[in-house]
Amino acid sequence: MITRPSPNFDTRKTPIAMLVLHYTGMQSGDAAIDWLANPASKVSAHYVVAEDGTVLQMVAEANRAWHAGRSWWRGITDINSASIGIEIVNPGHEFGYVPYPRPQMDAVVALVTEIVARHRIAPANVVGHSDIAPTRKQDPGELFDWPRLAALGLAATPAPSLDPGWTDPGFLAALARYGYDITAPTEAVIAFQRRHRPAKLDGTIDAECRQILRGLLVAEGL
């Protein structure tokens, strides 16, 4: 692990309970790292994972990095205080979104494993930026290997379930109960799909969406 300190941090106000995964969304990893280290940017992350699997630590875990922005998850609004933030180098949707290379995903999995164990973070609280800010963000995106994390118990996985047949308002109520901000319903549904059903990102609530969400609620005992 390489240390590249960022001055962009302050003091946590709450205990660590979440892990947020991002992509850098810039044309190069070097440009992203320079930006995260720039005092003028007012942004940072605890870690950056390069395409070759190199991990940089930019903010100590004890400190509050500035990675989440305006966001919400399960009633938490100061997500920066409650979370560890990992930036994964990828140009993102704006600059030519590409699959995450295997060495990079291997490094992400190893880092997530360590952080989750160290802070006893529940799988449902390992989230993407799009989960906590559905009107603003798409990262880490539909190409990120969430199933790999879920298979290792590092991220949420739904219990077996049948379609509960909810109405659309019923689905949205269940989505809010699970943890999403549904102020913008279509964007919230797309964020859910991007995370849990990435093959079809249309914002339409269908039987597959209902089945997956019910399975997540069952798995959480909600």
Catalytic residues: 87
Would you say 134 and 190 are in contact if contact means Cβ atoms under 8 Å apart?
Answer: yes
Number of Cβ within 10 Å of residue 125's Cβ equals 21
Q: How far apart are CA 194 and CA 214, in angstroms?
A: 17
Amino acid 144 reads F
Query: What's the distance, Cα to Cα, between the start and end of the chain in Å?
Result: 38
Give all strands of the β-sheet with 47-49 in edge-to-edge order. Answer: 2-3, 55-57, 47-49, 83-88, 18-23, 126-128
